[in-house]
Each structure stands twice: as structure tokens, then as C-alpha cells.
Structure 1
Amino acid sequence: MEYTMLSISSQFLKVFPAVLAAALVWPLLALAQTGSVAISVDLDSTLHRMRGGIGASWHAIEDSIPVSGNTSHGGSGWGANPAPEDEAAWQAVYAHAGWLGLDFCRVELEQRMYEPEKGRFDWESREMRILYRILDWCEKNQADVFLQQMWSNADWIAYPEFRGDPVKRVHSAPVSLEDFAQGLAALAGHLIQDKGYTCIKWLCINNEPGYDWSWWQMPPNETAPFTPALELVRETLDRKGISLPLSGPDWTDTPALTPEKLDFDRYLGAYDIHSYYSRYDWMKRDENRPDLPLSLVEQRLGDWAGWAHQRNKPFFLSEVGSMIFGWHADNNGPNTFPAALKDAELVLRGLNQRVDGFNKWSFINRGDLDGQWQLINTWDIKGGKLLEKYSPKPNSYFVYGLVSRFTVKYSRVPVTTVKGGALEGLTRVFAAALESPGGELTLLVVNDADSAFPAGLSLNGLKKETTLYKYQVTSEQKDNPGLIIEPLNGINLNPELNAFSDELPASSLTIYTTYRLEHRDWGVIAE
């Protein structure tokens, strides 16, 4: 079934005549009163310039990690990659990564992959060759890599009390921080100095430390100190002449900024956290889950970004997903249309809070470990094996993926103002704008209400004749892996005629951009 865009008519996409510009810039108070929305982008102002991009997590781990009931002790950070020697399968994976325009990838691994025994490095293990497949694509296509060691998962570096138990082993912090640091430095040296990868921009040394269930535990089962590890890894990298910045603390779930806990600032080159349980502002609170309305999440993101930027460091949302609609096992909650639209809204609101980069959990995922998180289907959940053909996973592929498809790393974020678009006192329309390093413009708009809004949109400070193309997905196209998204006919603007009207459908993502991409084209990654 082909995806059908809204057609241009006298009702939609009307360019305002210049003589009416002053009177028809949709008076904001009137719009708020009539149930309409006015979206204004000030191209002469700069809110922020991103130091990353918008992409997804992409793990190289393949060996199985225990699953006990609803608890997957490696989350869903392993499995579902094709064999490293399967060229045709990897070209299929690459085609999807290209369509999605993944320009900022959190690439995940574990220490066992490259150092299965103390001091014995296996640079040609099956999983390391999968890692090279991922890094090769990123290098060739100028995608930035946020390199993530998830855990160690090797008996030799686990606490003695945890050795021999595959569950305790994967959760163990390293018994020797010196050996841990030497291993990471060897990995970084091999990838950057020996293999010559220039795409690796950041290194995070452990996933989500600091919790009673984390992958940084010491006997009997409590979180181990983390700051000494950051200090020693930084010192070891420096001694070896490796300037790769560290990122942290990699905490979840969108924690409040607590400066008194950040005693590791001098070892970090970037800050990052995760977000999963955020909910729409209009949703009722679930007493059994963390209460994280997007308005609160937005505030916390702004606090973290402000803290990082004051220290001239970027701030990343290094895992983005939705648990609020269900997860665990093969639950499809993370990939429902409401979840996908919420993730897109979180990105838009995060951009306006000066977040530097976003990673969706996750590009490749089995979908049967702790929920269906995947952007593409590579794994046969019922059959327990790789699929022969890989396909988009609705709905994330066509919602979050549409955002990543039309955005470029290092983009400038102009100030965008939204007036109106509210129901029962709650804002339901959100927008963010980006200008790429090459001057391409993209305006992203989410309407999370169950009703449409008439909208007036303007690009103030437009310097030249500009054509915008429209791309859109709504809840009416949900659950369809075969969507075809083509550009709508152009909206012609210029410095005098810089405004137009449209309708924002219920539960929709709408993108207006100077990029004209046919469905068959790859998304934009770098300029």
C-alpha cells in the first residue's frame, strides 16, 4: 500500500500575499482562542549548535546472555546481527541505515569480545568482525560513533564471588580497575591507531552504572565506585596518547541533575543519560511506573544541557525509547504508534533544550528479550533465527526514522515559537527547526492530540527564495511496514512571502524541509 500525502489545495499550503503579511501573521492571541496554532522560526537567532546528531544504538554483541523470566540480564543489547562474512545481508542492513540517515550511532560492545582472557586480545573474533562491519559503514558515511562498552562479561575480570555464574558475571564490575583500563586503552588504540577509524568521537566505559541491578556490581550485590574507573581510564588513555573523550554518567531514567554527585566532571569530555519512562503530558499517571511527563523530562534535559554547556561539553540523550506502553519479552509496546510519536516529540522538545545528540534504542534488536525495540526486522521471533529478508519495523522506522532521515549532525537550532495548539490547558503541538551546516532548513512538527489543528507557519529572517517539501506520517498509516513516503509538491517562499498555512492532522509528525528526497533515496547524514 502506498503512503498518500495530503494534497495541496486552496485550504492548505496557501502562501500569504505580501500585502497581507502584517495582518495575517496569524495573531497569536487569536490563534490560541480559536484552537489554531502559529509556528514561527526565527532564522536570525541561534538557540544552539549540535555537537552530535540523531541516530540509533547498534550493538556488535552476539553471544547469548541469560534471560530469567521477564528479566534479560543483557537487556536487548545482543543478537540479531548477520554473520560478518554475509556480504549480501550486510548490504541490506546498510541500505536501511542509509535510508534512516543515521548520523550519530551508539556502537555497543563488551570486553569479552576483544579480551576473553587477561592480556590476550582477539581482534578477529566473530563479534569484533561484526564491530568492524558497523564501524566501516559509519566511517564511509561520516556518521559519528559514540563507542559504548556495555559491561565486561568475562570471568577473568569479574569478582571471584561472581565467576562461573553467567548472570553474576555480566553484572560484575571489574575486580581490577588497572586491567579494565588497560583493556579499554588497548581497544581504543587498536580501533583508532591501528585500524584508522576517525568516526569514533566518544567513549563510554559502562552502561547505566549506579543501580542495584546495574552492570557495575561488587559482592554481595551493591554498586561499585565508578569515579575511580573514569579517572584511571582517562589517565591510561592519556599515557598512550589517545585523546578520545569519555562520556558519562550514562544514568537512566532521565534523572534530575544533582551536581553534588558529579564528582567525575574533570574526567569527562561529554555528558549523557537515558530516557525510557517518559509519557505524554496529557496521559494519566500510572502509579506502578515512574512519573515522568514530558514537561518534567524537558526541564531535566535543559538542566543537564546547561550544566554540560557551561563546561564546554556536549550533552547527549544516548538511549531514547518508550517503556510506558509496555515492554519485556516480545511485547510490541515500544514500537506502537503512540510510542514512536512520543519518541519523536521527545527529540523535538530535547532539541529546544539544547541536547546535542540522540540515539534510539535500537537499530537492530531481536525483539524477544525485553520488548520489540528494533528499527528493522532481522530476527524471526517465532522461529528463533535470522530472517532471510530484512524489513522496516513499524512504527518507529517511519516516525523516529523520519526525523533522523531529514536531519544532519552539527546542525544549528534556531529559536522556534509555538502559540496555540492547546487542549484543556495542555500544549499538544510541538516544533523544532534545524539548519544544516550547508544551509538546508528542516522544520519538524508533532501534533500529539486526537484532533487536527489549522496552522500558520512562518520562517522569519529568510534570506533567499526557498522551496520547502512536505513529508508526513499519521496514526492512520500505523503498523504498515510498506509505507512509501515521497515528497509533496514544493511550497515556494521568499523573504517577503515567508509564511504559509497548513493543517496538522491528529497524531502526526509533519516535516517541512528544503531536502527533496524520493523514497528510494538515502537520508541525509553529513554535508
Structure 2
Amino acid sequence: MRKFVVICIVIFLCFTLSAGTVLAQSITFNVGQPNSSLFYGSFMGFGAEWDPFLFNTNNLNRGVTEADWTLNTQRLKDLNVGIIRLMMQLNWATSDPNLMNWNYNSQQMKSVFKYLDFACQNNITVILTDWGWSVRNSLYANPTDPRFGQGIAMYLDEFINKRGYSCIKYLIVGNEPDNEIELQYGMDAYETMYRNVDAALKAKGIRNLVKLTGPDMGGQWSFMGDAVSRLKDILDTYDFHRYASTSETSNFGLPGTWESLWSHLDMWRGDVNYRDSNASGKQLLLTEMGNDGGTTNSHPLIDTFEYALHMADYGTTLLITRINTGIAWTMHDVYYFDGGQFMEWGMWRYKNNNWSIRPWGQSFGLLIKHAPRGSIQAPINGTPTQTPALSQYHAAAVKRPDGKWSIFLVNRTTSSVTMTVNLPTAPQSNFDRYVFDRNTSAAFPNQLVLPPVGTVSNASQLILTVSGESFMVLAEQITTPSPCPSATHDVNGDCRVNGADVVVLITNWLRGNCTQMNCDLTGDGKINVFDFGTIAADLIN
């Protein structure tokens, strides 16, 4: 009897362990209805910092040509980039603190206009950021000087009204002021600076042309809250930066959900809602995103698969927060200003490395391409507003502007997992399947926009095997309606020739052709007995 009990216990333990192993290798994601109200508006797309230096004197002297410009801008077109953040400095356009003399013909300003030309011609939303160094380094001794705000309003008027750069939709004043302007001059001076800008835009009659955005917090949480409380009456949009640790995105080794990336992002929607009674009508933008541990000019992991998977996971998590865009740092490597400052954070490398593509350009490129501007985010397993449990498996879903689904799945473990995705309604078309893993960059070294590796049949429940350390994207295919194969004399477009077509002809008797219909079947310029004869022949046959 004792031997029998022992055997039963062993069998039970084996079954339990086996079942636990199976459970550990499967996860379900329930996708809710896409909801712009829940997410405070539509998603503005993923983008990157694209600062206007490629055609300044420094880079031209290093051999940059129009061919390099064409290569770089074609990549933005290929990705269908819909939003960028662009640096500006008042002292690029004037060295006169009294703002009487302006120079828009310097090579730096020509480079600015080249970027803005491209952005506006390609319908790219621009978040223009005056870095604020005209206060810290050159024109003015203090940010409270009203001429600083007046100067910004003057060049913005030049940009939008005189040069037609209407793609400039947002204005930020002071990059990471908690690390620069506010840190040096204090919070009162920072507030006065912003109010001066607001007043100058109003005086110039252009306040309605841009959304005044801030506070561009670089990491000091107390500054973010204080700035929102002080400036809520003039700020149209809120923004902040977050360089997240690998443990934040992956959730490995965290003590609790409060340390997860989701919590560190979505918390700011709750905070601005608490401080600003009108916050429900204001967007919340993440205007710099990346991996922590880097310096101003570079990151030790920028060339690695680990950085690429981090950025894929970061973007996927962002899509289930109440944030309206994610701007990566940066678009591509380039020399900043006119010295030796080389910015080495890009999705692709500089000219001396043949503009070669980094792994994270491919993974983040999938987010840019398949969660475009105008998409509507969908909740996942009740998130938001429910805080997601810590997990190494992450998912997001959006309805794109074309009405099709894009689904994003991340597996941070080293083992394959079965992911079940339950959609609220069955998709209309099959999905193209894209995969980024450790083999992708070697397989497609020169392709920024990755090709699909297969298809997934359309169904409201999708059961997928996601390999370890990988990023999978499902993009519902766009279908083009096929023309009617044989109903060549179909008048009303229902792919049939019947009495309904005759009624349309009678209604339009002796007129010219019908609007949006093909009534003149004989091409003689009017609806008459010959068109009826054509229909009759089809009906008889």
C-alpha cells in the first residue's frame, strides 16, 4: 500500500511539473476594441530625433553630398516616418540680441530649411525644439529676458507664415531644462521664460499655429510635476524623456510593477490629469526614448542585438500606455555643430561607415512602419488602466488608419512560447508576419525595412509560436477590390446587369453621363435609346 501511494505521488508530481512547464510556455493576450478616448486621442506614430546638421559646414567638409542626402531621406520615405523632433537655436538665425539683424543664409540655416523642406513635402509632423542655448551660451544672460521669447516668435513667423513650413505643429523651449535652464537659473526663471514665449507668439498672431509643449523633462520627476502645475494654463501638450534600463523593459529582476517601464511611462498621464483639470484634451508625448547607460554622444550597446530587442520591447510597451508618440534618439549618426561632436546613436551609421544599418534600426523600423500616425491603440488584458503584471512576454495592437490590424509581440526569454492573441473581431484579411531575432541583421544586412517571412490566416483567435529573444509583428494585409470580371455594362457598380441598371438609365434619360456611374454605355455623350439597347442585349443574353 505504501509503495502504491509513493508511486501515485510520483505520478502526480510528474504531471504537475509537466503541466507547469506547458503553462510556462504559453500566454494569452486578449485585445480590446481600439479606443481613442481611452488613449487620449489617436497615436501620432513612432519617429526619431532628426537634427538639421547633415548639410552644415562641418559635415560638408567631411564629404557629405546630395547623394548622401538622397540615401538618407529615401530611408525616411521607405519607413513612412510620420513624425520627427528637430533642433533649432535662436542664435543660428541672429547674433543680434536686439533682434534687428537676421541671417537666414548661413550654411546652418540652409541645412535647417533643407530638413523642413523635406518634412513638409512628405507630410511629416515636426516637433520643433529650441534647445535654449542662446540663453545659456550667447545672446542673453538670463532666460527671463523677453527678447528671447520674441526672437523665437520672430523666426517661427518666418518659418510658418513666410516660408510655408506648416508641418511645424509643436514648439518646445529648452531641451531637458531640469538638467540645463532650470538647473542653472531656477524654476521661477524657467516659468517666466515660457510665459514670455507664449506672450510673444500671441503678439505675433501665431499662437494658434503651434502647440506649445513642455516641460521636456530629462529625468527629475519633481521638476515635471512642478512645471505642469505652474504652466498648465499655457501648455497645449506635455512631453518628457525616458532612457529606460534593460530590466525596466524586460521586467527581469524587478521588485514590483512600480519599477516596470509601463509604470514609469503611464504614470505621467495620471500625474498630468491630477494637476491639470483640462488635461483630458492634451496629448502626452515621449520626445526622447532609448536605453540608459549611454553618454551624450554614444551608447556602448548601440551596435548590438540587445539594444535592438530593447527598443522593440520599449515601443511595444509604449503602445499600451496613454502616450501619443515615441521619438527615438536618433535617426542616424552625424557630426553636430561645427566641431568634433559626433553623435553615434543612430538607426544607421555615418558616411565613413557607408550609412550601414544598425540592428535597432530594423527592429524599431517595424514599429515606425506598422504603427503609423493616425493608428488607434487597443487595450491588452485590461491595460490600460490596469497595471500589467511583471512578465517577459509583451504585446500591443493598433488599428491602422487603413482600418487594418497591426499586432506586436515580444519574447524576452531564451525559450519559444505559444502566444494566443484574441481579437475583438475577426480581421478581414490575412496577416503578413515579420520577425526580428538574432539572425535578422546577418540575413538582411542592407535592408532597413524588413520583408515578411510568411503569412498568418485571418481569424479572431491567433495561435503563434514566438521564438526566444525575438520580436514578431503581424500586419493585416491591404486588399484591393477586384473589378467585375464580366459585367462590362454594369451601370450602378454592383457587378450585375439587371433591372436596377435600367432604373438608373430612366432616371438620367437624355442627360449626359451620370455622376459616379457609367450611364453612357455607347459613348455618344448622352443617355438615350442606344444605351437601353445595350442593356437589353445583356439581359437577353
TM-score band w.r.t. shorter chain: 0.7 to 0.9
- Higher mean displacement: 255-264 or 347-356: 255-264
- Higher mean displacement: 502-511 or 31-40: 31-40
Q: Which has the higher strand share?
A: 1
Shift of 1:233: 0.6
Shift of 1:207: 0.2
Q: Is the 8 A contact 2:247 2:254 kept in 1?
A: no
Code of the residue aligned with 1:232 in structure 2: it is N
Q: Which residue of 2 aligns with 1:346?
A: 314
2:111 is the counterpart of 1:130: yes
Give the alignment of 1:443-458 within 5 angstroms. 443-458=407-422
Shift of 1:131: 1.3
Q: Is the 8 A contact 1:55 1:359 kept in 2?
A: yes
In 2, Cα distance between equivalents of 1:180 and 1:400:
37
Q: Which residue of 2 aligns with 1:512?
A: 474
Q: Is the 8 A contact 1:106 1:146 kept in 2?
A: yes
Q: Which residue of 2 aligns with 1:141?
A: 122
2:224 is the counterpart of 1:252: no
Code of the residue aligned with 1:342 in structure 2: it is H
Shift of 1:301: 4.1
Q: Which runs of 5+ in 2 are unaligned?
A: 1-18, 384-388, 480-541
304 and 278 in structure 1: CA distance in 2 versus 1, 3 angstrom threshold = farther
Deviation string 1:78-109 (CA, Å, 9 cap, x unpaired) is 97589999432211111111223221100112
Q: Which residue of 2 aligns with 1:100?
A: 79
409 and 304 in structure 1: CA distance in 2 versus 1, 3 angstrom threshold = farther
2:158 is the counterpart of 1:193: no
2:380 is the counterpart of 1:416: yes
Picking from 89, 94, 97, the partner of 1:115 is: 94
Percent identity between the two aligned chains: 19
Q: Which residue of 2 aligns with 1:500?
A: 462
Shift of 1:209: 0.6
Code of the residue aligned with 2:113 in structure 1: it is Y
2:454 is the counterpart of 1:473: no
Code of the residue aligned with 2:127 in structure 1: it is F
403 and 185 in structure 1: CA distance in 2 versus 1, 3 angstrom threshold = same
Higher relative contact order (CA 8 A, sep 6+): 1
456 and 134 in structure 1: CA distance in 2 versus 1, 3 angstrom threshold = same
SS of the residue corresponding to residue 225 of structure 1 reads: helix
Code of the residue aligned with 1:310 in structure 2: it is A
Shift of 1:434: 1.1
Q: Which residue of 2 aligns with 1:19?
A: none
Q: Is the 8 A contact 1:204 1:247 kept in 2?
A: yes
Shift of 1:327: 3.9
405 and 356 in structure 1: CA distance in 2 versus 1, 3 angstrom threshold = same
Q: Is the 8 A contact 1:305 1:353 kept in 2?
A: no
In 2, Cα distance between equivalents of 1:129 and 1:53:
27
Q: Which residue of 2 aligns with 1:56?
A: 48
Given the two structures, how large is their TM-score scaled by the length of structure 1?
0.74
Picking from 401, 404, 412, the partner of 1:437 is: 401
Given the two structures, how large is their TM-score scaled by the length of structure 2?
0.72
Q: Which residue of 2 aligns with 1:68?
A: none
Code of the residue aligned with 1:195 in structure 2: it is R
Q: Is the 8 A contact 2:366 2:450 kept in 1?
A: no
Q: Which residue of 2 aligns with 1:236?
A: 200
Question: What count of residue pairs does the alignment treat as equivalent?
Answer: 436
Q: Which residue of 2 aligns with 1:17?
A: none
Deviation string 1:31-83 (CA, Å, 9 cap, x unpaired) is 9934301122223655423352210001114799xxxxxxxxxxxxx975899
In 2, Cα distance between equivalents of 1:137 and 1:300:
35
Give the alignment of 1:365-376 within 5 angstroms. 365-366=333-334, 369=341, 372-376=344-348
Code of the residue aligned with 1:505 in structure 2: it is S
Shift of 1:275: 0.6
SS of the residue corresponding to residue 246 of structure 1 reads: strand
SS of the residue corresponding to residue 449 of structure 1 reads: coil
Code of the residue aligned with 1:274 in structure 2: it is H
SS of the residue corresponding to residue 233 of structure 1 reads: helix
In 2, Cα distance between equivalents of 1:223 and 1:102:
35
Q: Which residue of 2 aligns with 1:525?
A: none
RMSD over aligned CA atoms reads 3.5
253 and 338 in structure 1: CA distance in 2 versus 1, 3 angstrom threshold = farther
SS of the residue corresponding to residue 419 of structure 2 reads: strand
Shift of 1:152: 2.8
Shift of 1:225: 1.9
Q: Which residue of 2 aligns with 1:523?
A: none
Shift of 1:303: 2.7
Shift of 1:147: 0.5
Q: Which residue of 1 aligns with 2:300?
A: 332
2:32 is the counterpart of 1:42: yes
434 and 30 in structure 1: CA distance in 2 versus 1, 3 angstrom threshold = farther
Q: Is the 8 A contact 2:34 2:376 kept in 1?
A: no
Q: Is the 8 A contact 1:257 1:304 kept in 2?
A: no
In 1, Cα distance between equivalents of 2:326 and 2:369:
13
Q: Is the 8 A contact 2:43 2:377 kept in 1?
A: no
Code of the residue aligned with 2:281 in structure 1: it is N
Structure 1 runs of 4+ aligned residues shifted over 6 Å read 29-32, 81-85
Q: Which has the higher helix share?
A: 2
In 2, Cα distance between equivalents of 1:260 and 1:153:
24
128 and 97 in structure 1: CA distance in 2 versus 1, 3 angstrom threshold = same
Q: Which residue of 1 aligns with 2:171?
A: 203
Q: Which residue of 2 aligns with 1:7?
A: none
Code of the residue aligned with 1:240 in structure 2: it is K
352 and 305 in structure 1: CA distance in 2 versus 1, 3 angstrom threshold = farther
Larger radius of gyration: 2
In 1, Cα distance between equivalents of 2:409 and 2:166:
34
2:402 is the counterpart of 1:460: no
In 2, Cα distance between equivalents of 1:472 and 1:253:
33
2:152 is the counterpart of 1:157: no
In 2, Cα distance between equivalents of 1:448 and 1:232:
47
Q: Which runs of 5+ in 1 are unaligned?
A: 1-28, 65-77, 160-172, 381-386, 420-424, 518-527
Shift of 1:414: 1.6
Q: Is the 8 A contact 1:364 1:375 kept in 2?
A: yes
In 1, Cα distance between equivalents of 2:80 and 2:58:
23
Deviation string 1:234-256 (CA, Å, 9 cap, x unpaired) is 11101111022211000112737
In 1, Cα distance between equivalents of 2:329 and 2:138:
30
In 1, Cα distance between equivalents of 2:319 and 2:304:
23
2:283 is the counterpart of 1:314: yes
Deviation string 1:353-399 (CA, Å, 9 cap, x unpaired) is 1101111000133489587311122243xxxxxx6x4232x122011
Deviation string 1:122-165 (CA, Å, 9 cap, x unpaired) is 11211111112211221122111100111334765232xxxxxx
